[in-house]
Amino acid sequence: MEYLRLGTSGLVVSRLCLGMMSYGTPVARDWILDEDAAAPIVRQAIESGVTFFDTADMYSGGVSELVTGRLLAKLFPRRDDYVLTTKVYYPMGAGPNDKGLSRKHILAAIDASLDRLGVDHVDLYQIHRWDNETPIEETMHALNDVVAAGKARYLGASSMFAWQFAKAQQVAEAHGWTKFVSMQNHYNLVYREEEREMIPLCLDQGVGIIPWSPLARGLLAGTRERGGGPTTARSGADPIADAMYTDDDFEVVDAVRIVAAARALPPAQIALAWLLGRPGVTAPIIGATKMKHLADAIAATRIRLSEDEVATLQAPYRPHAVLGHH
């Protein structure tokens, strides 16, 4: 496993980040694994060198954080041996202050997350989305206080417009507050709109990129067919994917299959290898509910695509409307 600094920060992470959204309670989604089922996969990821783990308070209504905390405590000898992230923004209760990026919610949410995770700090605390109802000055001040209190070591952000991210960074810099060191954005072979503004901004500012949905919710791995036909439990019960990707995206899927067939490799490995080779990408966030998913991701870190293969993969791309900001 290769290890890189997250952007220009001093934080070192593994080349892959294991997304813990897949672990929690099947009550939330049929395809989510409970703790016992998740344990072998997480153990194998650790034995393969993965040290970077991403969750969020809202995954499985908090159960993902509980499972994540218990598994990592069992499988790592020391807290400092792994990098743990979680997120804040989405509703965690029915009250008007149980969501968003207000000072009240951020300070309550970090304490609740730490309690569920069973740790005294997270390494990276991320805002899950942009909050249009809270002044960014209030959000950045509260996040800085989280870091100052020792409850988070670094700050990160997730999908938003580049101007919003630039504004947040400028507000933090102007006040001497902690800035974001990472951007967790929606980026894969069938959705490359981030290459227009967000990724150039991150490259210019030394912000690490940790893309979510690197396989387009399984589309690039072959879990769907034209016309919407699913081939897995998740692809058959994923309305988000149904709304985000269409049959037009199968031109890219076909290109992935061509390159994969020429190498006698699974399509997932080729799609991940492309993403790992993109400028600024530190660690794609991979979901794994089967050992094969993990094996494909690890194998992808060793693949180097030729210029001709990259050209073949990128040629069918079509522009998209903004996807994933809400």
Instruction: Tell me the C-alpha distance between 155 and 73, whole Å.
Output: 22
Cβ-based neighbours of 45, under 8 Å, separated by 6 or more? 16, 18, 288, 294
User: Which DSSP helix (H) or strand (E) runs through 314?
Assistant: helix 307-314
Instruction: Write down the residue that tokens 């060198």 correspond to.
Output: 49
For residue 54, list its beta bridge partners: 19, 85
Residue 258: its H or E element: helix 250-263
Candidates 23, 59, 82, 125; catalytic one: 59
Sign of the alpha-carbon dihedral angle for 145, 146, 148, 153: negative
Calculate ∠ Cα 176-120-205, nearest 5°.
Answer: 35
Spatial separation of the C-alpha atoms in residues 270 and 305, rounded to whole Å: 8
What is the C-alpha to C-alpha distance for residues 308 and 255, in angstroms, rounded to an integer? 12
Buried b (16+ CB within 10 A) or exposed e, 180-198: bbbbbbbbbbbbbbbeeeb
Structure tokens at 159: 């999908």
Active site residue 59: yes
As annotated, the active-site residues are 59
